[in-house]
Amino acid sequence: MGTAMEQLKQWIEEGKRIVFFGGAGVSTESNIPDFRSVDGLYHQQYAYPPETILSHTFYIRKPEEFFRFYRNKMLFPDAQPNRAHKALAKLEAEGKLSAVITQNIDGLHQKAGSKKVLELHGSVLRNYCERCGEFYTLEDIMKMEGIPTCHCGGRIKPDVVLYEEGLDQGILREAIYEISHADMLIVGGTSLVVYPAAGLIDYYKGNKLVLINKDTTARDSVADLIVTGKIGEILGTICGIE
Ligand code: NAD
């Protein structure tokens, strides 16, 4: 184990109120591509960049194309939690971790057993009719083709935050509370370029801010410790997850 890994292990052992803040990189080891890595969505060719397709304007103006992209690139119904998700669930069960805050929309933290998960960008597992409010599961959406439509005729919208849409203020408040009360903040698998989510780390007041990433991030200069590598391998090894 390298020095950075050993330091992280020691801090996790000492931690009583750890908060984890993660992004798409937490799920790449579950075979869900992120946006900005070389094999991520931004490096694949589409008629429009993913940020445009996943915007509120595009969703309203070109719903067929939106849902074609969404169904092909955002839905991974068979994905399973990896060692990172399992390690975080274990730390919570041991009473050391108070919350997972995620930008991911895949539901894998809950599937791994995490209870307190603050989903800043929503979840593909929840879908609501825009007209009557009826709830639909991901399985319901998978059974439909093209634009998912409610029995009332309304369009069904995934409960995910699109570009141009605001974050849920209640969830944001809870995330700020958890981060500002944390004795250790582990930030993993996020490029820290998508705001307002990326700005959340500024609410941390302690001296154990750890960044885990396989690459450099936009905020490396503020970290107390940087651990470079795959997050599933790193947290899995430290927490004893096979
Ligand atoms: P991003 O694609 O901008 O950045 C991912 C980061 O994770 C990169 O810095 C990359 O170097 C790193 N990374 C990739 N695999 C890693 C691994 N195995 N170990 C350690 N680091 C790894 O993603 P983001 O910052 O989360 O922001 C993009 C937005 O995309 C988010 O808001 C999120 O809603 C959305 N998104 C979600 C999913 C998902 O739910 N799984 C997938 C793609 C995008």
Is residue 56, in this structure, part of any structural domain at all? no
- Give the structural domain span for 223: 1-32+80-121+166-242
Q: pLDDT by residue (tens digit) across 23-80?
A: 999 999 999 999 866 555 666 667 888 889 999 999 999 999 999 999 998 999 999 9
183 within ligand 1 shell (Cβ under 6 A):
no
Is residue 90, in this structure, part of any structural domain at all? yes
Burial zone of 43 (CB within 10 Å; 0-12 exposed, 13-18 middle, 19+ buried):
exposed
220 within ligand 1 shell (Cβ under 6 A):
no
pLDDT number for residue 119:
98
pLDDT number for residue 9:
98
Kindly give the distance from the C-alpha atom of residue 96 to the centroid of ligand 1, in angstroms, as a whole number: 25
pLDDT number for residue 45:
65
Is residue 220, in this structure, part of any structural domain at all? yes
CATH of the domain at 236: 3.40.50.1220
pLDDT number for residue 47:
80
Give the full edge-to-edge strand order of the sheet including 156-160. Answer: 135-136, 122-129, 156-160
Is residue 65, in this structure, part of any structural domain at all? no
Question: Which ligand 1 atom is the nearest neighbour of the CA of 23?
Answer: 26
Identify whether 121 is a catalytic site residue.
Answer: yes
Give residue 60's identity as a one-letter amino acid code.
Answer: I
Backbone phi and psi for residue 71, each to the nearest 5 degrees, phi listed first:
-65, -40
What is the residue with the minimal CA distance to atom 16 of ligand 1? 25
pLDDT number for residue 43:
62
Q: Cα dihedral sign for 180, 103, 173, 200?
A: positive
Q: pLDDT by residue (tens digit) across 146-181?
A: 999 999 999 999 999 999 999 999 999 999 999 999
Ranges 13-22, 66-75, 117-126, 225-234: which has the least confidence: 66-75
Q: Tell me which of 38 and 120 has the higher pLDDT.
A: 120
DSSP state of 184: E
Ranges 133-137, 177-181, 191-195: which has the least confidence: 191-195
Write out the H or E segment, with its range, that includes residue 100: strand 97-102
Q: Which of 56, 85, 121, 151 is catalytic?
A: 121
Cβ pair 74, 66 in contact under 8 A: no
Averaged pLDDT for residues 5-21: 98
**Residue 188 to residues 27, 67, 84, 214: CA-CA distances in angstroms?**
11, 29, 9, 9
Give how many domains the chain has, as a whole number.
1
Is residue 50, in this structure, part of any structural domain at all? no
105 within ligand 1 shell (Cβ under 6 A):
yes
CA 241 to chain centre: 20
Q: pLDDT by residue (tens digit) across 196-242?
A: 878 999 999 999 999 999 999 989 999 999 999 999 999 999 999 99
Question: Which ligand 1 atom is the nearest neighbour of the CA of 161?
Answer: 34
DSSP state of 194: S
pLDDT number for residue 196:
81
Averaged pLDDT for residues 119-136: 98
pLDDT number for residue 138:
97
Question: Whole-model pTM?
Answer: 0.95
**Residue 95 to residues 17, 114, 191, 200: CA-CA distances in angstroms?**
8, 12, 28, 23
Report, in angstroms and rounded to the nearest whole number, the Rg of the chain calculated over CA atoms: 18
Is residue 21, in this structure, part of any structural domain at all? yes
228 within ligand 1 shell (Cβ under 6 A):
no
Averaged pLDDT for residues 105-120: 98
Q: pLDDT by residue (tens digit) across 69-110?
A: 999 989 999 999 999 999 999 999 999 999 999 999 999 999
Nearest Cα to Cα of residue 217 among 19, 24, 13:
24
pLDDT number for residue 40:
59
Backbone phi and psi for residue 22, each to the nearest 5 degrees, phi listed first:
-130, 170
Is residue 241, in this structure, part of any structural domain at all? yes
Is residue 57, in this structure, part of any structural domain at all? no
Residue 5 pLDDT greater than 60, yes or no? yes
If you count DSSP H runs as helices and E runs as strands, how many of each does the chain have, helices first? 9, 9
> How would you write 57-92 as a 3-class SS string?
HHHHHCHHHHHHHHHHHCCCCCCCCCHHHHHHHHHH
pLDDT number for residue 95:
97
